[in-house]
Amino acid sequence: MLPDLQVKDTVRMRKQHPCGSYEWTVTRLGADIGLECRSCGRRVLLTRRELMRRAKSIQPAADQHPTPEPKEGKP
């Protein structure tokens, strides 16, 4: 099973795309996973099983854990 996969995560594949890139961005979650090539913008759908087989590593998006903003209270 895939680890916690979120939209905007970056997936590094084992084989390179014909454009030369190894990195894809997750655009859709569900029964199929939507991916967009970071170099050429090509979009594909892969089943979870196929993605698990083809992925080399998964890097969480930078904004996964945003820091909470301070609340402004009335004194």
pLDDT in tens, 46-67: 999 999 999 999 999 876 555 5
Torsion of CA 9, 13, 53, 48, to 10 degrees: 30
Higher confidence at residue 3 or residue 58?
A: 58
Residue by residue, DSSP assigns 10-69 as EEEESS--TTS--EEEEEE-SSEEEEEETTT--EEEEEHHHHHHHEEEEE--TTSSPPPP
pTM: 0.76
Quick one: average pLDDT of 25-45? 95
Residue 9 · residue 57 · CB < 8 Å: no
Which fold does the domain 10-59 belong to in CATH? SH3 type barrels. (2.30.30)
The full set of domain ranges for the chain reads 10-59
